[in-house]
Amino acid sequence: MKKSLLLPAMLLASASIFAQPTIQSADFYPTVGESFSLNYGNYVSPGSAGSNVTWDLSSMSSSSVITVNALAPSSSFPTSTMNLEYVGQSNLHANLTSTEFLIVGETTSSASVNYTDAKKLYQFPMTNGASYSDNFSGSVLSSGVTFSRTGSVTSEVDGYGTLITPSGTYTNVVRVHSVHTSNDTYMGQTITGTIDMYSWIKAGVHIELAVVQEITAMGNTQTVGWYSSNTLGISDNTINTLVMHPNPAQDIVSLQHEQGIDRVEVRDLNGRLAAVEFNAANNSIDVSNLSTGVYYVTVYSNNATAVQKLIKK
């Protein structure tokens, strides 16, 4: 995500179990010395907005892994409080306040951006429906040429629920949808770029769990996605311990989970709870009344959860 900013421009938890999360800046900001691993790969559809949504990004691949180091601020950007080093790629210089994540500069080996009016990446507290707009301005130095940059960001926390990535399944996640538009001007010529970005954030994880974005500049569109893979201990369940058979299924589905099963929920792709009965005597559910399609089955066990995709024939 940070590299591309330099370019011109389903768990199924019911509301009664998982309340709408609110994320404060202290829940998200990294501290100096922390490191993260980001798996860059293919773009995956961000899915729907809304409450108690399950976002399935499990098909996201990993073609490369980038390490992010949280470093002390650089003296080259005196208003910054954090230098996020994307090793071998770029540096993001940020001013982290109690209510705003502000970008004050960006650098690569061949270009740099210095914002005199910082770009707001995130606003806190994050809660469903919160939104903001922000204007920014600064200069871009690239290949010896200095561009004047102006632009705007519009952003909204457009949903909360459960996120599934190749790294695990996470509950109480919020999604931020933001659109960044920049105008880089030199000698009367302007290049406009747009970044349409979705970010998934969870309290206690000090970097985005996943990001997908479309970047458009000079008539060309590039898509990219990435997910964090070193959130050890944060994933809310061990998805591989839930076994369902048969799958796809027409009527009865048998469930196996190493920790036993307390109760089961089944939801469609829009997060709606499906009317199915769990037979505790033989750990099975009857899905014969469900319409053909894809569902998510959540097993609750000893204050933990496991989730699995179910295809109804």
Residue 204: C-alpha distances to residues 12, 82, 299, 312 (Å): 20, 18, 24, 35
Better pLDDT: 147 or 277: 147
DSSP state of 20: P
Give residue-wise pLDDT tens across range 112-128.
999 999 999 999 999 99
Listed in sequence order, the residues at least 6 apart from 264 whose beta carbon sits closer than 8 Å to its beta carbon are 255, 276, 278, 285, 297, 298, 299, 300
Give tens-digit pLDDT for 14-43: 333 446 899 999 999 998 888 898 999 999
* Check whether domain 239-312 has CATH 3.40.50.300, yes or no: no
Of 35, 96, 99, the residue nearest 71 (C-alpha): 35
Per-residue model confidence as pLDDT tens digits over 154-199: 999 999 999 999 988 899 999 999 999 999 999 999 999 999 999 9
Confidence class for position 84, pLDDT limits 50, 70, 90: very high
The amino acid that residue 90 corresponds to is S
Q: Is 231 exposed, middle or buried (0-12, 13-18, 19+ CB in 10 A)?
A: buried
CA 118 to chain centre: 22
